[in-house]
Amino acid sequence: MNLELTAEQRRLRTEVIAFAREELGRDVAADDRESRFPLEDWRRCAAFGVLGWPVPAEYGGRGLDPLTVIVALEALGYGCRDNGLVFAVNNHLWGCVIYLLTHGTDEQKKRYLKPLCDGTLIGAHALTEPEAGSDVLGLRATAERDGDHYRLRGTKCFVSNGPVADVFVTLARTGDRGRAQDGLTAFLVTADLPGVDRTRELTKMGLRTTPMGVVEFDDVAVPAANVLGREGAGYAVFTSTIEWERSLMFAAQVGAMERLLEESVRHANARRQFGRSIGGFQAVAHQIADMKIRLELARLLLYRVGWLKREGRMALTEATIAKIFISESLVSTAMAAVEVHGARGYVADSSLERELRDALGGPIYAGTSAVQRGILAELAGVRGALSGDPGGAARETGGEPG
């Protein structure tokens, strides 16, 4: 396994970093304060090709392989200081686009992928409900067949991109076929359908430039042609995408970790106390050393998942480990960066307090760390480690995508 970047990947990384630094996040502090979605930056991402990186050229994308997409997203997270914008991009790609790529019909792909790539449409994943998050099989939304349509009813909450999304991937119960796994169906639901109501936008601690909200489906007539996969296969559709979500969604966090490390090194060298730079004190130097360790381990875990996916191999265990380690490592690194900078890292005028707030969501979305550890324990052979998982099917449980 050779994880050395190719000349093309190195060139792409350089291009993405330059684009992100020059074009994105110019008003991130104000956008964060106002919880404002940076629509112009979204359009710049679309024009640069970000929204179509994993999509084949025939559908309007660039057709990058999984490892190269990871390299590009890592560079985006490194160069762009607006973590919320990057998170919105990831929700668009791994909560919507990947579903179309892996389970969409030719007609669905032709209809939706190009506008999703060019930024005309914004995608979201409407899964979590007031009484069902990590327990995907506990979803209560229903979709009843009515001729060539389904009547969709239910409430979805904590929907990232929800207040601005044009296309929702959602799961609903379409019957009771014995096994709970066989009673769910995945749908593409467009926001312009009568009965789709974005009832409330939620204010968050961090990642504020990714809008989050509640979406009501009130007797929505969803065309049968908008079923992803087939009726009753929604759980299988959902679980087949979790490797992408758990790993590629966190590539940008590795880039953010590198950015925070570099900022901390610069400050440790420049800031002087007691007649010398604070980097000369072990308490500071060891913080930075641990930042470097976390960064390199996170990158290795992530690139291994990308390599496995590029080779067409399963990577559920590796993706689960990556999700846990990267999300928690970013929190530790952001906290360390605040401590290294002292009062400068704590005040609101500093970007570091925002970085810490943004990082805290990582161990929650895309499946909480507690759920992921239960899944990992079952994958390692511990029976029933994930309490409440029907049939002990940890390998099929995706957790809560946020």
DSSP per position, 243-309: HHHHHHTTHHHHHHHHHHHHHHHHHHHH-EETTEEGGGSHHHHHHHHHHHHHHHHHHHHHHHHHHHH
Buried b (16+ CB within 10 A) or exposed e, 193-224: beebebeebeebebbbbbbbbbbbbeebebee
Q: Is 37 exposed, middle or buried (0-12, 13-18, 19+ CB in 10 A)?
A: buried
Question: Catalytic residue at 74?
Answer: no
SS3 168: strand
Q: How far apart are CA 235 and CA 51, in angstroms?
A: 26
Assess contact for 166 and 123: CB atoms under 8 A: yes
Query: Which backbone phi and psi does 40 adopt, to 5 degrees?
Result: -65, -35
Render pLDDT for 252-262 as a digit per residue (tens, 0 to 9): 999 999 999 99
Q: Which two tokens stand for residue 231?
A: 């009726």
CB atoms within 10 A of CB 395: 16
- Position 395 scores a pLDDT of 35
Higher confidence at residue 376 or residue 135?
376
**DSSP summary character for residue 50:** G
Task: Provide the residue ranges of all domains of the chain, joining segments of one domain with +.
Answer: 7-122, 124-232, 242-396
Catalytic residue among 74, 231, 243, 245: 245
Residue 387 has pLDDT above 60, yes or no: no
**For the chain, give me the number of helices (H) and strands (E)?**
15, 10
Render pLDDT for 117-175 as a digit per residue (tens, 0 to 9): 999 999 999 999 998 888 888 899 999 999 999 999 999 999 999 999 999 999 999 98
Q: Is 156 exposed, middle or buried (0-12, 13-18, 19+ CB in 10 A)?
A: buried
Residues of the chain by 3-state class (helix, strand, coil), percent to 5: 55, 15, 30
Render pLDDT for 289-311 as a digit per residue (tens, 0 to 9): 999 999 999 999 999 999 999 99
Residue 329 has pLDDT above 60, yes or no: yes
**DSSP summary character for residue 127:** -
Confidence of residue 334 (pLDDT cuts 50, 70, 90): very high
- Position 242 scores a pLDDT of 84
Q: How far is CA 130 from the centre of its chain?
A: 21
Residue percentage of the chain with pLDDT more than 90: 85
SS3 351: helix
- Position 108 scores a pLDDT of 97
How much is the pTM? 0.93
Render pLDDT for 71-114 as a digit per residue (tens, 0 to 9): 999 999 999 999 999 999 999 999 999 999 999 999 999 999 99
Q: 7-122, superfamily in CATH?
A: Acyl-CoA dehydrogenase/oxidase, N-terminal domain (1.10.540.10)
Assess contact for 81 and 28: CB atoms under 8 A: yes
- Position 399 scores a pLDDT of 35
- First-to-last C-alpha distance (Å) of the chain: 33
Confidence of residue 177 (pLDDT cuts 50, 70, 90): low
SS3 398: coil
Q: Which helix (H) or strand (E) holds 335?
A: helix 316-341
Lowest mean pLDDT across 225-234, 338-347, 391-400: 391-400
Domain 242-396 classified CATH 1.20.140.10? Answer: yes
Confidence of residue 248 (pLDDT cuts 50, 70, 90): very high
Listed as own residue / partner, the contacts of 108-116 with beta carbons closer than 8 Å and 24 or more positions apart are 108/188, 108/225, 108/226, 108/228, 109/59, 110/59, 112/167, 112/188, 113/52, 113/55, 113/59, 113/60, 113/61, 114/59, 114/60, 116/51, 116/52, 116/55, 116/92, 116/167
Q: Which two tokens stand for residue 310?
A: 């590029």
Residue 392 has pLDDT above 80, yes or no: no
- State the average pLDDT over residues 13-30: 97
Residue 394 has pLDDT above 80, yes or no: no
- Please state, rounded to an integer, the average pLDDT across all residues of the chain: 92
β-strand pairing of 167-173 with 227-228: unpaired
Domain 124-232 classified CATH 3.40.630.30? Answer: no
- Closest by CA to 372, choosing from 299, 330, 308, 317, is 317
Residue percentage of the chain with pLDDT more than 70: 95
- Position 391 scores a pLDDT of 31
Query: Which backbone phi and psi does 158 adopt, to 5 degrees?
Result: 55, 45
Q: Which two tokens stand for residue 196?
A: 């789709």
Q: How far apart are CA 174 and CA 185, in angstroms?
A: 6
- Position 133 scores a pLDDT of 82
Q: How far apart are CA 203 and CA 210, in angstroms?
A: 10
The one-letter amino acid at 39: L
- Position 81 scores a pLDDT of 96
Confidence of residue 388 (pLDDT cuts 50, 70, 90): very low
